[in-house]
Amino acid sequence: MRRPPRTAWQSLSRPGHLLSAWPWRAAAYLLSGAVTGAVLLVGLVSALAAGLALAVVLVGLPLLLLTALAGLPVARWERWRLRLVDRAPAADSHRPPRASGLRPWLLTRLRERATWRELGHAVLLATVLWPLDALAVTAALGCPLAVVATPLLLAWGGGEAKVLKLWTITGWPAASGVALLGLLLLALGGYALGVAAGARAALARLLLGDGPTDQVVELTRSRARLVAAFEAERRRIERDLHDGAQQRLVALTMTLGLARLDAPPDGPLAAQLAKAHEEAGLVLAELRELIHGIHPRVLADYGLPAAVGDAADRSAVPVDVRLSLPGRLPPSVETAAYFVVCEALANVGKHSGAARAEVTGGHGDGRLVLEVSDDGVGGAEPGSGSGLTGLADRVSVLDGRLTLSSPRGGPTLLRVEIPCEPTAHSG
C-alpha cells in the first residue's frame, strides 16, 4: 500500500491530486505568504523610517535593533506555515543562550548566522516573494474561477459578460464553452499551485538554513554528548588510578624501602630489594605522568589558569602566562582549552627552536579566547603531525574555532575561541 504524500511535490505525481486537499493547502500557503509579505513590508518600512528618524536622540536605536531581529518571528511563522505543504517539521537552527537574561540572549542571536539569514528571508519576503505568491494564486486559482463564473456573470449582466475584462460574451452557448474552458484551467491551476507552493517551500527552507537540519542538529548534539561522556570517563579513570593503583604503588614502594633497611646490607637479598625498590619508583613516576596526561588533578581542583601555569612550568621552553578568568568554566571547555595549550607548548619545545613562548587569554563577550605564541622559526602546519587536527575537532564540537598562523621565519600564533559562560562548577 502506497504511503500518503507528505509534501505538495509528492502529491503532484498521484492520480488523485486534484481531488485531495493538497491544491487547497498549496493555495492557503501561497495566499498566507502574500498577506504576510504585504503586512511585513509596511511594518519594516515604518520601523526602519522611525528608527532612523529617532536615532539622533538615541530613542530609535532600540527600534533599529528590533528591526534587525524582525526575521526571528517571521521565520517562526514561516516554519509553521511550511506544514501546509510539507509535513516534515522545519527545525530551528538557533542555539540556546548559555546563560539566562536578555543580554546573553541578544548576544547569542546577533552573533548567529541564522539570525541574519532569517532577516534576509524577511526582507526578501517583504519585497519580492509576496508579489510572486499573490501572482501565483491569482493566475492559478483566481483567473480560472472567474472564467468558470462566466454564466453567472452573463445572468447578472443582462445578457452580457466580460471575461477577465478582456472578452465580451453575449450568448449562453459561448458562456457554457468558456465555463468548460475555465474548469480545464482550474484543473491545470491545481497542479500549478502545487508546483509553485513546492518551489516556494523549498526556497524558504534554503533561506532559513533548514535543509537536513534535524539530522545535523542531532549529529552535533550526539557528538557533544560523546565528548562529555568521554571526558567523564577520563576523569573516572584518573580518579581510579590516583586513588587506587597509585596508592598501592606508594604503599609498595614504602614497604620495599622498609624491607631494605631490615635486610643485611651486603647480602643478595639487599641487592634484589634495592632493584625492586627502584623499579617500583620508576613505575610510580610513569603512572603519575600517565594520570596527569589523562586528566590533571590540578585542572579539576583549581581550574584552567592553575593548570596552564602547571603546564608552563613543565615546558622545555620558558613560558610567560597571562590568563585572567572571571571564574570556573564548563568542564568540557576547560579540558579542551588545557589540552590545546599543552599540545601547543609541546610543539614549541619540539619543533619551533624558540627561546621563549607566551600564553595569554581571558573571557569576554561570551567566549573564552586563548593565544599561544612563540619567537621560533615558524612554518608549522596543522596537518603535519602536530596533533592540532584532533584538537581542532574537539574545539569544533563546542562550537569553537582554532586558528594557526605560522609564516616561515616566525612568529607562530595559535588562537582558540570557545563560546561559554562562567559556571559554578567546582571540579
Cβ atoms < 10 Å from Cβ of 56: 8
Average pLDDT over residues 66-81: 90
DSSP 8-state code for residue 168: E
Report how far residue 402's alpha carbon sits from residue 4's, in angstroms, rounded to the nearest whole number: 47
Q: Which residues of 394-403 are buried (b: 16+ CB within 10 A; e: fewer)?
A: bbebbebebe
With a cut of 70, say whether residue 238 has pLDDT above it: no
Instruction: Quickly list DSSP for 271-333.
Output: HHHHHHHHHHHHHHHHHHHHHHHH--HHHHHH-HHHHHHHHHHT-SS-EEEEEE-SS---HHH
Average pLDDT over residues 359-376: 90
More confident call, 147 vs 217 = 147
Q: Per mean pLDDT, which range of 166-175, 186-195, 346-355 is the poorest?
A: 166-175
Report how far residue 198's alpha carbon sits from residue 10's, in angstroms, rounded to the nearest whole number: 9
State the pLDDT confidence band at 212, using cuts at 50, 70 and 90: very low
State the pLDDT confidence band at 211, using cuts at 50, 70 and 90: very low
State the pLDDT confidence band at 214, using cuts at 50, 70 and 90: very low
Dihedral-angle region of residue 291 (phi above 0 means left; psi in -120 to 50 means alpha; beta otherwise): alpha
Strands 357-364 and 319-324: parallel
Report how far residue 54's alpha carbon sits from residue 35's, in angstroms, rounded to the nearest whole number: 29
With a cut of 70, say whether residue 234 has pLDDT above it: no
CA distances (Å), origin 31, targets 24, 36, 148, 348 = 10, 9, 20, 63
Cβ neighbors of 273 (< 8 A, separation 6 or more) are: 256, 259, 260, 263
> How high is the pLDDT of residue 53?
81
State the pLDDT confidence band at 228, using cuts at 50, 70 and 90: low
State the pLDDT confidence band at 219, using cuts at 50, 70 and 90: very low
Q: Per mean pLDDT, which range of 135-139, 183-187, 231-235 is the poorest?
A: 231-235
Percent of the chain with pLDDT over 70: 83
State the pLDDT confidence band at 294, using cuts at 50, 70 and 90: low
> How high is the pLDDT of residue 427?
47
Nearest to 3 by CA among 199, 23, 11, 25: 11
More confident call, 42 vs 222 = 42
More confident call, 6 vs 160 = 6
> How high is the pLDDT of residue 265?
74
CA distances (Å), origin 301, targets 266, 294, 310, 330, 369 = 46, 15, 13, 13, 21
Report how far residue 410's alpha carbon sits from residue 374's, in angstroms, rounded to the nearest whole number: 8
Average pLDDT over residues 276-286: 75
With a cut of 90, say whether residue 273 has pLDDT above it: no
> How high is the pLDDT of residue 218?
46
Q: Per mean pLDDT, which range of 211-220, 309-318, 381-390 is the poorest?
A: 211-220
Instruction: Look up the pTM and report it.
Output: 0.51
With a cut of 50, say whether residue 168 has pLDDT above it: yes
Q: Per mean pLDDT, which range of 185-194, 216-225, 239-248 is the poorest?
A: 216-225
Percent of the chain with pLDDT over 90: 17
With a cut of 70, say whether residue 395 has pLDDT above it: yes
Report how far residue 13's alpha carbon sits from residue 25's, in angstroms, rounded to the nearest whole number: 16
Q: Under DSSP, is residue 136 helix (H, G, I), strand (E, B) or coil?
A: helix
Report how far residue 427's alpha carbon sits from residue 423's, in angstroms, rounded to the nearest whole number: 11
Taking all residues of the chain, what is their mean pLDDT, rounded to a whole number? 80
Q: Per mean pLDDT, which range of 3-17, 165-179, 401-415 is the poorest?
A: 165-179
> How high is the pLDDT of residue 346?
86
pLDDT in tens, 88-114: 777 777 777 777 788 888 888 888 888
The upper half-sphere exposure of residue 81, i.e. CA atoms within 13 Å in the direction of its Cβ, equals 25
